Amino acid sequence: MPRHLMNPLDFSVEELDRLFSLAANIEKEPERYAHICDGKKLATCFYEPSTRTRLSFEAAMLNLGGNVLGFSDAGSSSAAKGESVSDTIRVISCYADICAIRHPKEGAAYVAASKSSIPVINAGDGGHQHPTQTLTDLLTIKSLKGDLNNFTIGMCGDLKFGRTVHSLINALSRYSGIKFIFISPVELKVPDYITEMLKDKGITYEEVEKLEDVMPDLDILYMTRVQRERFFNEEDYVRLKNFYILTKEKMELAKPDMLVLHPLPRVNEISVEVDDDPRAVYFKQAQYGVYVRMALIMTLLGLAD
């Protein structure tokens, strides 16, 4: 049976450590890995828009010497004619060695994995999970802070629909000394099933509305976009879209070594003047996404050893 990645918890903490070590080696000596995937093919099946995830997967496979095929829009695939995800993945399994799939419906990647004879990677399913973004976030934190334990992490913005947030909370809840501060308007609070999980595990969290009040406490600030595509009505989106804007003035309240992460794309929630602050690492984070996806492709294809 092929091994899939649907949720960051599919990998144990020890497996993640090995993955991050491999990604660090790839960053140091990329030429050593330039032919590891010669003759292999990655299919990217994206039913929802993407820049980073799709292109970093494709860059990752090309960096490893492999090839890529796929579609970036459901409208240009036979989904537009009514083909199911199950049928599509059975066909893709005949053409490629590994597949990354993004879909607007929660659970679509699980359906694909259940019918696939090749490894399937969940590249984002609706408002549910985005495990490879989480691998990117964890590698960024580990590389720049040297550890994944003992942090106060603020998560700000759309915590209700934000799949990157849901995946990252799941993943960080396995490390020790983690405290979460959830910063959101009441309408975009983190779902109850997540806060229940944190209570069950005895993990400390706070929920606040004002970013300025907690800035001095944070080791990491994870900003997110209010996602127009997840709202049921435009009026709510317009009311909430500019609720948070991280500015230079707000950064003055933060610790000198606090990191600002953002899965991107950004709209208005981080002012461009913050980009020059050395604590703003969201573009570096996008680069780490290539190294970790290279390590992941090698691992799922059984080529990591």
Between 142 and 262, name the residue whose CB sits nearer to ligand CP. Answer: 262
Between 116 and 285, name the residue whose CB sits nearer to ligand CP. Answer: 285
Between 215 and 294, name the residue whose CB sits nearer to ligand CP. Answer: 294
Under the binding rule (CB under 6 A), the answer on residue 50 touching ligand CP is yes
Between helices 131-145 and 13-28, what is the axis angle to 10°? 70
Under the binding rule (CB under 6 A), the answer on residue 150 touching ligand CP is no
We find the least distance from the C-beta atom of residue 204 to ligand CP, in angstroms, to be 27
Out of 52, 115, 230, 279, point to the residue binding ligand CP (CB under 6 A).
52
- The DSSP output letter for 152 is E
Under the binding rule (CB under 6 A), the answer on residue 224 touching ligand CP is no
We find the least distance from the C-beta atom of residue 286 to ligand CP, in angstroms, to be 8
Under the binding rule (CB under 6 A), the answer on residue 177 touching ligand CP is no
Q: Is the dihedral of CA 134, 183, 239, 235 positive or negative?
A: positive
Between 180 and 282, name the residue whose CB sits nearer to ligand CP. Answer: 282
Reduced to 3 states (helix: H, G, I; strand: E, B; else coil), residue 160 is coil
CA-nearest of 289, 165, 137 to 227 is 165
Measured distance CA(69)–CA(120) in Å, rounded:
14
- Give, as ranges, the residues between 258 and 277 that touch ligand CP (CB under 6 A): 263-265
Buried b (16+ CB within 10 A) or exposed e, 125-154: bbbbbbbbbbbbbbbbbbbbeeebeebbbb
- Give, as ranges, the residues between 234 and 263 that touch ligand CP (CB under 6 A): 263
* Polymer length in residues for the chain: 305
**Residues of the shown chain interacting with ligand CP in the complex, contacts defined by CB under 6 A:** 50-53, 124, 133, 263-265
